[in-house]
Amino acid sequence: MKTSDFIKAKKKGRLLTMLTAYDAPTAEILASAGIDMILVGDSVGMVLLGYPSTTQVTMDEMIHHAKAVHRGAPEAFIIGDMPYEAVNQGVSKALKSAQRFISEAGCAAVKIEWSDSCLEITRALLKNKIPVMGHLGLTPQTAQKNGGFRVQAKSAEDAFTLLKRAQEWESLGIFSLLLECVPVNVASKVTKKLKIPVMGIGAGADCDGQVLVFHDIVGLFNKFQPKFVKRYANASVLLRKAVDRYASEVRRGAFPSNAQSFHMDKEEARAFNRRLV
């Protein structure tokens, strides 16, 4: 798909789907399910790498996971999430990082969280023909500076500021906007005001589409569960049962059985045994 296809989808009223993936098998599952956009999120830091926040994720780690996702779903529309390291060291560093997502990892676009320098970075990326998705509302990379992980734009003034930022970003040429943890009515107004598709996460049902973390919806991440997450499976329980059964069978000698074992030709086995005498 092209970025223009998502704008056309909004005009036609087709709701868009987006999920995270950090590896090839997950990407393959999402692609086979027809998910519109796959986000290689910096959430990988907390979900897979054990970091306390997303800010510790390095650009090299992001590229490593983005490459894996592309191998699993080479035809998918993959978005690389610009990590804190990539956007906190100036426009030149940000541009080089974004170019790595496109040239090295095969991504189709990048996502940038709102910051003091995001508009300047966006201009540089768009000038170099790198599609950009903006991210407003709760921005995990700067959450601690903005009062922590909480709902944003709850006051009229803050909501108006968010709308103006969204419009300014859109005017630069971003192809889509992600809104995280904002009141339903605010997200609804922003969605209606913008011509580009607005993807929501904890922003209500009036957005042009939704995004969630894959490990959240299948029950593979259990450290905490945000209010906006709906679990569609409890894979961690299923996997724990499988591991328990494996350990039990090994300990009582039931695995491997004859079905999981390899055997020599009978004549070769007899010849081998004769040489042991």
Class of domain 3-233 as given by CATH:
alpha beta
pLDDT interval class at 252 (50, 70, 90): very high
- pLDDT tops 80 at residue 224: no
70-74, 142-146, 235-239: range with lowest mean pLDDT: 142-146
The answer to whether the Cα torsion of 243, 247, 248, 254 is positive or negative is: positive
Q: Which residues are catalytic?
A: 180
pLDDT for the residue numbered 63: 98
pLDDT tops 70 at residue 146: no
Beta strands 176-180 and 109-113: pairing type?
unpaired
Question: pLDDT tens digits for 229-248?
Answer: 999 999 999 999 999 999 99
- Token pair of 118, please? 């995001």
52 upstream amide cis, omega within 30 of 0: no
Q: Of all helices (H) and strands (E), which one includes residue 39? A: strand 37-40
Q: Mean of the per-residue pLDDT values for the chain?
A: 96
- Least confident stretch, 98-102, 109-113, 145-149, 212-216: 145-149
Least confident among 21-30, 75-84, 184-193, 219-228: 219-228
* The predicted structure's pLDDT at residue 144: 67
Whether the predicted pLDDT of 147 surpasses 70: no
The band of 15, judged by pLDDT with boundaries at 50, 70 and 90, is very high
pLDDT confidence tier of residue 222, bands split at 50, 70 and 90: confident
pLDDT digits (tens, 9 = 90+) for 115-137: 999 999 999 999 999 999 999 99
**Model pLDDT for residues 97-117, shown as the tens digit of each residue:** 999 999 999 999 999 999 999
Q: Which sequence spans correspond to the domains of the chain?
A: 3-233, 238-276
DSSP tag of 258: G
Confidence of residue 221 (pLDDT cuts 50, 70, 90): confident
Helix (H) or strand (E) holding 176: strand 176-180
Evaluated on CA atoms 225, 226, 227, 228, the torsion sign reads: negative
pLDDT at residue 172 in the model: 98
Query: How much is the pTM?
Result: 0.94
